[in-house]
Structure 1
């Protein structure tokens, strides 16, 4: 989608390639000190690849060929280099004086358009003020005043600013109208349980490096846990919400490099529920099985139909001679907690997971205070969070029209549900990492995952033990590993 304020040389996110020669040539001179010349050459060969599914596989290939000890897990430094190198054509690599950080800075010698920072556009001040005035009126039970403001805003011409600004105003306007008049403007609730929303979420994850790196950080934690038990080539991942299946192709491609010469067995166990029925899960298993067969990994895909409160190691097929990992990527924020349900399935799941004694638990979540926050705070959070997310994925290059429509529709549903709904109808109840951390620690888990920092609009930093992935200082997702 085109933007009037777009930076001329900014690369379309999700394309997975560098577009210029000179930044690549610069790599040999400015590459990180921890990379050998062979590793740098492997990066140059890797960066033009167009298939995002190959990122982690090719990365592991390069590691196995250039590392003194290919059996050791890949460092997070290499991961950051590869992932973010695949999303921009204006990055160069530079080493850091710190053992726990890597700084990947923009190649600033290429053109004036790169030297000059992109001016961040903002939502039209008058439109934003009107939205907040309407939200204030709603919070004060003055529905007639709120409706008058929203009607006036609807009649205004499109605000000045970028395309992402306009979409943010459109989504927020609909959300507030749904809050005031849900009969005439039904808020999105059922939509968040449909196949269309699953597809929209997959598209969002594909076009945003924040989500992409979150999944890859979870995979890295799982691979590191597996490397700690070299005596077994059996890895068992329990995933309570595999309907998105986004991270498993990369994990499958990485596994054959872990134990050269021995066939790796990956067992995935998932639960059927009202959202992910057995038919859908069987289709997921069939797709992953075909991929596993092509790359030489033995895949065992189990579907369990049982209530979370009744789960234990037996129905989940846990065995003593396997590395056990539990993946909670984008799962907990869709589960009711004690503020919604007396049964509190949210904390019940964490107790169940702790009882399984896994080697690692991976947690990836959106970073937004959208659960127990009061209405006005939630409106402000939604506007800031989705404004940053929309801006981060805005591209001067046109994407596939169908994918663009899916992304926009999915984000509109998510924002509308966050602002317009209460109780059980608020399907997505995002939290900030501090709250996830408190809940995990109360359940008996300890953090294990470190973090790194990236500087070019997108940021990767460590905060309170989590890997915070964001856009221009606003954290969008947080990844963490526990045991």
Structure 2
């Protein structure tokens, strides 16, 4: 998605994603960064400035970087249009990165109104947050439909849930299981890991409390639910998310698998927080902290079905300039979608944007193991799944109809398309979130 189209809010055209003039800016002067932009600081020009600043930082040229950031500071506005609001968070990330080079070289202050309180949400607030857009609900709907189809005829169901949404997916599935023509399952188990990526949304209650509430909800639907949290061996929170996975790798024996259960593995915005397997530093481990190692572990469980939902964007590259271009083009989707549906000073909108801003900071500010945001496109994930010995499951028309009903509850810009074995959530025709379902194949 090109920035030219964002400036026009186009619903039908797409510009080339790899513009050589944007990918190779020259960090020589402020005039070079502003060439062609004066009087027209729209999306394309903001992107050009961001890339020029990235090139300056990569060349350790703090003088040019400071000049460009000064211009961006005069463009950014926490209450402006989507491009201006997005610029606020890119500028914050660039300043944070530049501060490592020269902590005293950035004399200007940012608009403080955009800072997130990082306050954990109540369950009610989290439900409202998820309902703001179909960003999460889309994956819930598609994955739940695949799960319902996979467990037909099974009286016992075990869900191993790798998700950042605190089990918000499961009340709807429990409702659907309770209404099955063959009757609800006689046993439902949900297992979640205690290790959790340090990303929003955060919840103000413990995972065990979430489990108790789910069990009470399931009891009202006449479904006996067992909820288990897989504990790590790390003391407190002294280890990072990835360190916890390395220290206490996933162990099939800890899951208590049973032969008469339908085993479901659900991954919702999870794999992007695992390390890649070809990054050239600490990412060459093949345990459950790496993407390929995790998929090998999952394949070894021989699950009935695996559901995968994640953001459809390639934001995992060593090049800062490439990450900035991909990030600016992709995350504009959320800022534009929120502009369509909410007032400029809406607190819920501001909080949602602040959570996206945390993602931007991690993608731009950090390198190596500190950069935990490593999104890959649905196509790249599909390649990983096939290499790991999985085959794709096609979604039927009933699943697509359910998604269309869900999208009718949101702004008209949201849509859906099929790409190979995936269903993809779109905003004004641009891919945002993918969901796919997989079954293990026998590896000869």
Query: Structure 2 length as normaliser, TM-score?
Result: 0.71
* Distance apart, 1:221 and its partner CA: 0.7
- CA deviation after TM superposition for structure 1 residue 135, in Å: 2.2
From 228, 248, 251, the equivalent of 1:302 is 228
Deviations 1:188-212 (A, max 9, x none): xxx99x7749989876543222431
What secondary structure, in the 3-state scheme, does the structure 1 residue paired with 2:392 have? coil
2-structure distance, mates of 1:303, 1:157? 43
Q: Quick check: 1:179–1:420 contact (8 Å CA) kept in 2?
A: yes
Output one character per residue of 1:412-449: Cα deviation in whole Å (capped at 9) or x when no partner.
11112112211111121111112111111111011003
1:256 aligns with 2:181: no
**Which residue in the other structure is 1:111 paired with?**
none
Q: Distance in 2 between the 1:418 and 1:300 partners?
A: 37
- SS of alignment partner, residue 255 of structure 2: coil
How far residue 336 of structure 1 moved from its aligned partner, in angstroms, is: 1.5
| Partners of 1:243 and 1:280 within 8 A in 2 | no
Greater shift in the superposed pair: 236-245 or 419-428: 236-245
Count of residues in Structure 1 that have an aligned counterpart in Structure 2: 353
Q: How does 1:241-390 map to 2 (within 5 A)?
A: 241=163, 244-262=166-184, 264-273=186-195, 280-305=206-231, 311-338=250-277, 339=279, 340-344=282-286, 345-346=289-290, 347-372=292-317, 374-390=319-335
Shift of 1:337: 2.3
Distance between the aligned counterparts of 1:145 and 1:224, measured in 2? 57
Contact 1:236 1:322 in 2 (8 A): yes
The 8 Å contact of residues 243 and 281 in structure 1, kept in 2 or not, is answered as no
- Paired with 1:274 and 1:210, the residues of 2 have a C-alpha distance of 20
Task: Evaluate the alpha carbon distance shift between residue 428 and residue 214 of structure 1 in structure 2; reply closer, same or farther with a 3 A threshold.
Answer: same
**1:221 and 1:449 in contact (8 A); partners too:** no
Distance in 2 of aligned mates of 1:317 and 1:434: 33
- Tell me by how many angstroms 1:477 deviates: 0.7
8 Å CA contact 1:450–1:462 kept in 2: the answer is no
User: SS at 1:269's partner residue?
Assistant: strand
Give SS of 1:211's match: helix
SS in 2 for 1:173: helix
Unaligned ranges ≥5, structure 1: 8-121, 186-190
Alignment of 1:95-174 (within 5 A): 123-156=42-75, 158=77, 163-174=81-92
Q: Quick one: which of 200, 225, 242 aligns to 2:150? A: 225
Provide the C-alpha distance between the structure 1 equivalents of 2:121 and 2:382, rounded to a whole number of angstroms: 28
The whole-number CA distance in structure 2 between the counterparts of 1:388 and 1:365 is 15
SS at match of 2:375: coil
1:213 alignment partner in structure 2: 138
Q: Once the 2 structures are TM-superposed, how far is the Cα of residue 259 of structure 1 from its aligned partner?
A: 4.1
Secondary structure at the residue paired with 1:450?
A: coil
Task: Quote the offset at 1:388 in angstroms.
Answer: 1.3
Q: CA 1:438–1:204 in structure 2 vs 1: closer, same or farther (change >3 Å)?
A: farther
Contact 2:93-2:365 within 8 A present in 1 as well: yes
Change (3 A) 1:457 1:479: same
The 5 Å alignment of 1:396-411 reads 396-398=341-343, 401-411=346-356
C-alpha distance in 1 between matches for 2:92 and 2:381: 30
The answer (yes or no) to whether the contact 2:164–2:268 under 8 Å persists in 1 is no
Distance in 2, Cα, partners of 1:479 & 1:357: 20
Contact 1:334/1:427 (8 A) holds in 2: yes
User: Does structure 2 conserve the Cα–Cα contact (< 8 Å) formed by 1:312 and 1:356?
Assistant: no
In 2, Cα distance between equivalents of 1:474 and 1:133: 25
* Contact kept? 2:76, 2:88, Cα under 8 Å: no
Q: Which of 414, 417, 425 lines up with 2:370 in the alignment?
A: 425
**C-alpha displacement of 1:399:** 9.9
Contact 1:350 1:440 (C-alpha < 8 Å) held by counterparts: yes
- Classify the secondary structure of the residue corresponding to 1:353: helix
The answer to whether the Cα contact below 8 Å between 1:255 and 1:264 also exists between their aligned partners in 2 is no
Inter-partner Cα distance in structure 1 for 2:97 and 2:126: 24
- For 1:272 and 1:139, locate their aligned partners in 2 and report how far apart those are by CA, in whole Å: 37
Measured in 1, the distance between the counterparts of 2:65 and 2:345 equals 37
Aligned partners of 2:58 and 2:320 also within 8 Å: yes
How far residue 386 of structure 1 moved from its aligned partner, in angstroms, is 0.8
After alignment, is 471-480 or 450-459 more displaced?
450-459
Asked if the contact 2:77/2:88 (under 8 Å) is kept, the reply is: no
Please state how far the C-alpha of 1:260 moved relative to its aligned partner.
4.8
Cα distance in structure 2, aligned partners of 1:253 and 1:399: 36
Q: 1:421 to 1:244 in 2, by over 3 A?
A: same
Q: 1:407 and 1:238 mapped to 2: Cα distance?
A: 28
Asked if the contact 2:156–2:185 (Cα under 8 Å) also holds between the matched residues in 1, the reply is: no
Alpha-carbon spacing, 1:322–1:280, altered in 2? closer, same or farther (3 Å): same
User: Deviation digits for residues 348-400 of structure 1, max 9, x if unmatched?
Assistant: 21111101100100000101111135221111111011111211232444599
